[in-house]
Amino acid sequence: MTAQNLHQLSAAGVLLVVDTSTGTPHIVHWGDDWGRHALNDLAVLNAETVVGPNGDVSVPTGIWRENARGFFGRPAVRARRSGADWTHRFDLISAATSGVALHFESEDALAGIRVSRTFTIADSGVILVDSTITNIGTDGLEVDEFATWLPLPNAATESMDFSGRWVNERQLFRRDIQPGLWSRDILEGRTSHDSTIMQFAMTDGADFQHGSVWGVGLLWSGNSRHLIERTAAGQTEIGAAELLLPGEMILAADESYDAPTVAVTFSTDGFDGASHRVHEWLRARPGHLGAASPRPLTLNVWEAVYFDHSFDRLSALVDAAAEVGVERFVLDDGWFAGRRGDHAGLGDWVIDKGVWPNGLTPIIDRVQAAGMQFGLWFEGEMVNANSDLYRAHPEWIFGADGRIPAELRNQQVLDLTHPGAYAHVFSQVDAILSTNAVSYIKWDHNRPLVEPSHRGHAAVHEQTLAIYRLFDELKQRHPRLEIESCASGGARIDLGMAQHADRFWASDCNDALERERIQRNTMFAIPPEMLGTHIGPTWSHTTGRVHTLQFRAAIALFGHAGIEWDITECTPEERSQLASWAQYYKDKRALLHSGRVVRQGDDFTPVHVLGVVSPTQDAAIYSYIQLRDIGSNIPARIRLTGLDPAARYSVRLVEPAGSTPQPVRATPQWCVGAEVSGQALAEVGLLAPILFPESALIIEATRLSQ
């Protein structure tokens, strides 16, 4: 290895170095940027030949991990041609550097396969990996897997990802990296509640502020696979790929498959550093809606009225929403033809004249007269058997060889790869948007795909591209339209959908205790302004828990805030508290939706801290959340991280939704104001007041002028 064979990308303290001296691209460094001597240092450190226990010379296998080069783990390319051409050796045919990107092209002339990979680095240090495989043979090439793998150093000893289920998404799982292959496979045809937005590897004991962290996430909303493998020889790599179904990707001669982009992040300052890079990358994408386009305080009517739509009832809700300061009013499920419950209507996206004889115009006019935007719910990828669409076109649903899949939630999945089905959904949604003042849609997806077959062939890949295309075409036709991605709550939150949607519904559970964990764990990859965070009812219909308004409001503050509650039933005091909280959100959302997210505690600790620190470190807002009894008579310390350690800050307790109930009203002195250095706040912290379990405080920190 010489410095001349090394190709590098660097930004924001992250360095990627690829060596081509062995005839195949081989990543020799992905991590901290060592500065201008990095290439020379790597050439020296990797110059010696490694000899195995049998006296064999160990040759780097490179990014394609071919068995032909002596690699015995899972190859990056798994493809075959009628049982032949299943083993590959890709030799480099070109390498190019263009400032922020590295491009490598390799070929196996014997097998008739060409592969290429491009690494592009964003300003935040996130690296995007794009890969293409092309059939340069004459017969069809079946691609079973085309994965992106990156090496991990020996220092990476642990891994972490997420699982979950309906109303309990984003459960965190942490484990030691051991010899063998770890794979989280998602086969629902959508991202699913069980998916992991990103998978992480880290040094021993890494936490939110400390340790090195490597993260990999797939920009894809269909079937997926996240992987970590440690070979018996001690080589460790982390990877991701689209999970292709049998026969789903068969390439004809000269045809190519572009694998979903993979985003990778690295940090030397813990999970918060890794998350911040991803947040900044997403915030830099075209059309991002955040601090520069204030996220409207939203009221969704679902948990207030369910399917019981009436103009008078909704009008009362409009009045209550306007009184407390709501800026966007969203009419959820139940407005379209035959939709008096979840057993009928999906697929017929026309206004139900029995409920809305004059169309939606009267309620839209009512909403706009109250100074609010109007939003509407769709579930365009689904169909009920009891619908005009299904009666006319039963062949438009997914199913294998005419077999009708089992119904889930009384519905089937429309095959949007069928031109007729796609045109039907697009035209009906477009007609509603063209004839009504709808600026926002909540797009739901309430069941997984069972036997997703188009004319006998697996079609999850094409279905995923179809929904991306549909969202993009709707936005082209309606440039100011905003789209929220919802899938039985949080079952389609991923980095791929983040390129097409503006907001995610994190969970169908509005229990603030559950939502606190779901939201903070979703923020491992998704910035707060893209997460719908609502104040739910006092009594949660998914858990039966009862929480104070103060607790629910504190949890809902840190995101794209809203309300999902029949606030016509609120007491005058509750409406006053909601109005105060709503105004506080509006005053602070520029900070909440642009700053660095900082966190403390994990899924097992009784106390959490979640904060957002402005880019200049001039201001920050934190929540201190006591989940359960702390197991001690001495309150915990509230460490406020992310501030300038050399600066002094004014800190104070704020109560935008009223006072948090306390068993002993003995508040520490800082609650009414104190001046403390950023270093002391991070290392020592504020003394917490004694709180009941399931309570929260909001704390502001403001830099003092020097």
> Residues 615-670: pLDDT tens digits?
999 999 999 999 998 888 788 899 999 999 999 999 999 999 999 888 876 689 99
CATH 3.30.950.10 fits 298-594, yes or no: no
Structure tokens at 114: 């060409």
User: CB of 370 within 8 A of CB of 319?
Assistant: yes
Structure confidence at residue 349 (pLDDT): 98
Long-range contacts formed by 100-105: CB under 8 A, 24+ apart: 100/9, 100/11, 101/9, 102/7, 102/9, 102/16, 102/18, 104/18, 104/20, 104/25, 104/63
- Out of 19, 33, 130, 444, the active site residue is 444
Mean pLDDT of 214-233: 97
- Out of 19, 272, 348, 508, the active site residue is 508
283-340: pLDDT as tens digits:
999 999 999 999 999 999 999 999 999 999 999 999 999 999 999 999 999 999 999 9
Please say if 508 is a catalytic residue.
yes
Mean pLDDT of 2-9: 87
- Can you name the CATH fold of 79-283? Beta-galactosidase; Chain A, domain 5 (2.70.98)
Structure confidence at residue 502 (pLDDT): 98
In this predicted structure, the answer to whether residue 394 has a pLDDT above a threshold of 70 is yes
In this predicted structure, the answer to whether residue 80 has a pLDDT above a threshold of 70 is yes
Structure confidence at residue 59 (pLDDT): 63
In this predicted structure, the answer to whether residue 451 has a pLDDT above a threshold of 60 is yes
Structure confidence at residue 37 (pLDDT): 75
Structure confidence at residue 60 (pLDDT): 76
178-192: pLDDT as tens digits:
999 999 999 999 999
12-61: pLDDT as tens digits:
999 999 999 999 999 999 999 988 878 888 888 776 555 555 556 566 78
Per-domain residue ranges of the chain: 79-283, 298-594, 598-703
In this predicted structure, the answer to whether residue 674 has a pLDDT above a threshold of 60 is yes
Structure confidence at residue 50 (pLDDT): 55
Structure confidence at residue 20 (pLDDT): 96
DSSP-based three-state secondary structure for 138: coil
Mean pLDDT of 667-688: 95
Query: CATH number of the domain at 598-703, out of 2.60.40.1180, 3.30.420.40, 1.10.10.10, 2.40.50.180?
Result: 2.60.40.1180
Please say if 444 is a catalytic residue.
yes
Q: How confident is the model at residue 499 (pLDDT cuts 50, 70, 90)?
A: very high
Type of residue numbered 677: S
Report the C-alpha gap between 30 and 28 in whole angstroms.
7
Residue with tokens 């493809």: 79
- Higher per-residue confidence, 268 vs 83: 268
Type of residue numbered 38: A
Structure confidence at residue 44 (pLDDT): 81
Structure tokens at 592: 């909440």
CA nearest to 109, candidates 93, 94, 124: 93
